[in-house]
Chains A and B, each alone.
Chain A
Amino acid sequence: MSGDADSASTEQIRDALRRVIDPELGYNIVDLGLVYDVTVRNDGRDAHITMTTTTRGCPATDYLQSGARDAAFTVDGIGSAQVTLTYDPPWTPKLMAPAARVHFGIKDE
């Protein structure tokens, strides 16, 4: 039961994170591949997001982190949200979802 709630919330959080755009690329952070992991525990109450930015030191980093946290809180039942920033592995355009790759005119290798 608890596992079902957690996985449902995970998907809801991923949807909510699509509202957060990378300001430079103008595309949502989920389909850009900037969100590495979303985990929800404790019956859908505690969210943990692991994400990165396109460039290390990007001036938008703090805003993207707090934006992801705020987006997670818009999901019903989420009581705590933690966002961890990582550059391991570093982001590459290969991590983009197919729709984003098409949007940016990136050809598959």
Chain B
Amino acid sequence: MPGASLSRWSLSYFAAAVVFLLAGQVLMVFGFGYPAAALRAPDTLLVVHCVTIGWLSLLMCGALFQFVPVLVVRPIYSNTLPLPALLLILAGLAALLASFLQLGGHLPVIPHCFAAASVLLGSGFGIVLWTLGRTLSAARPLNLPARFVAIGLCSVAATVTLGILFTLAFGGYTRAPFALELLGRGMPLHVIAGLGGWLTFTAIGVSHRLLSMFMLSPELDGASTQWTFRLGTLALAIVIIAGTVAVIARAGLNAVLVTAGLAGAGTLALYARDVVQLYRKRVRRVIELNSRMAGIALGHLAAAAVLTFACAVSGGFGQYGGALIFLVSFGWLSGLGLAKLYKVVAFITWLECYGPVLGKTPTPRVQDLVVEPRARTWFWLYFAAVDVGTVCLLARAPLVFRAAAAGMLLASAGIALELIRTRRLANVSPALRLPQGTRLPRLLFTFVAN
């Protein structure tokens, strides 16, 4: 059944995600939230959720709807459910952002905004989990990359559950002692489960397969990679389970975080070994822009690990926590996300447009849909601006940070325009652009003929 393996709504997730990335960066340029406001201030929380839910989580969901079937060699459980999930998440995020605006005094009070956000986000992510969970469940026993994704999905369930408890306690819907304890001291667990478990651990699993696929490297499933998975799972279990128990029992969190941190450091060291092997053993000597930029993003993950270690040793999480979250969110996760998005949009567009006429007429290559030298400039500007921004946050230079955010915004907008050009086949030579039997792809969704 041709086209059965194309995800219908991934492009819609990507489009919405890019809009939230640009929106988050506009807010940073205008000095909204951290560092002008405190890390836990409502304005900061608005920017953080705009980026982590609106950009990173929608990007990850869209990517998983396309790539989980590739990982498990089975069709997605439903190609329809991702749409209502997207609409629910968007509505829930709007309600959440409106709640933060109210808390910050920028909007008049709208009753039950936090409750609406909880219900809508919970339902949206619930459908995502159901769709991906059923797809994985039908493919048991899972291969290694899919097991990373499964743990990532458990982590997003934990992140969303903690988030819902926070919003219910924040909005005054519950006075249950455990919810208030979690609201007071559980924030690190929410952040680590989200950035570390859901986004990073899933990205690690998917990157094992994508890097191997796009660079023609041998797939890694040996003992070292198995230990990457086991140690990472252990670290996340310690943070999420033991951490929650410790908070509710009013015990100290330090022992939990140090133990999980050690396991997390081991995971990243093993992952670094895997990544070096994937790049070294690649058959494709000349690699594409997406793989080169993924390498830069991986370097930022290493830098974030070093900064985490420095904070742990010096007790500087309070002082440098904002810079660390910024580096993880923009240097590592967004850098990797933009790099892979650049490739995946071209790949999906090729399959949608030229797949049906393959063998009948000459077709362009996936690489003909993009102009790498032009995009390369935007990527370098992006990473340079992220690095300047990180240094500004470490050195407490908020005005220069805003200039760096403007650089990130410009670069991200440039990459977004490249994605639109790819989708519109604007880079393909006229002779090959639309052979008989093809049609121009839609910008916001994929036409799937099944």
Contacts and interface: CB of A to CB of B under 8 A. Distances in A.
A47 to B, nearest CB: 13
Contacts of A54: 213, 216
B102 interface: no
A19 B368 CA distance: 16
Given A57-B69, A105-B285, A106-B285, A62 B213 contact: no
Interface string B4-27: 111000000000000000000000
Contacts of B216: 25, 54, 93, 104
Interface in A91-107: 93, 104-106
B78 interface: no
A23, A25, A74, A106 — most chain B CB neighbours (10 Å): A23
A64 B2 CA distance: 9
Contacts of B286: 104-105
A59 interface: yes
Contacts of B6: 59
A60 to B, nearest CB: 6
A71 interface: yes
Contacts of A69: 359
B361 to A, nearest CB: 8
B66 A59 contact: yes
Contact of B360 (A70, A93, A104): A70
A64 to B, nearest CB: 7
B160 interface: no
B350 interface: yes
A79 B413 CA distance: 52
B428 interface: no
B360 A67 contact: yes
A58 B72 CA distance: 10
A67 B359 contact: yes
B345 to A, nearest CB: 13
A56 B143 CA distance: 12
Contacts of A25: 216
A59 B283 CA distance: 21
B359 A60 contact: no
A59 B5 contact: yes
A105 B5 CA distance: 31
Given A23-B351, A57-B73, A106-B285, A63 B356 contact: yes
Nearest to A87: B73
Nearest to A72: B359
B359 A58 contact: no
Contacts of B365: 21, 23, 26
A104 B284 contact: yes
A80 interface: no
A60 B351 contact: yes
Interface residues of B, number: 36
A68 interface: yes
Given A62-B5, A104-B285, A57 B351 contact: no
B161 interface: no
Interface string A48-91: 00000011111111111011111100100000000000000000
Interface in B223-249: none
Contacts of B108: none
Nearest to A107: B285
B1 interface: yes
Interface string B353-386: 0111011111101111000000000000000000
Nearest to B364: A26
B283 A63 contact: no
Nearest to B360: A70
Nearest to B354: A23
Interface string A9-25: 00000001101110111
A105 to B, nearest CB: 4
Given A57-B73, A93-B216, A63 B358 contact: yes
B101 interface: no
Contacts of A57: 69-73
A70 B359 contact: yes
Given A56-B73, A59-B70, A67-B359, A23 B366 contact: yes
Contacts of B358: 20-21, 23, 63-64, 66-67, 70
Which A-B residue pairs are the 8 nearest by beta carbons?
A26-B365, A67-B359, A67-B358, A63-B355, A57-B73, A71-B359, A70-B359, A105-B285
15 contacts: A17-B359, A20-B358, A21-B363, A23-B354, A23-B355, A23-B363, A23-B366, A55-B213, A57-B70, A59-B6, A60-B351, A64-B358, A70-B358, A93-B283, A106-B285
Given A66-B359, A67-B360, A70-B360, 14 more contacts: A23-B350, A23-B354, A26-B366, A26-B367, A26-B368, A57-B69, A59-B5, A59-B6, A59-B66, A59-B70, A59-B348, A67-B355, A71-B359, A104-B216
Interface of A: 16-17, 19-21, 23-26, 54-64, 66-71, 74, 93, 104-106
Interface of B: 1-6, 66, 69-73, 213-214, 216, 283-286, 347-348, 350-351, 354-356, 358-363, 365-368
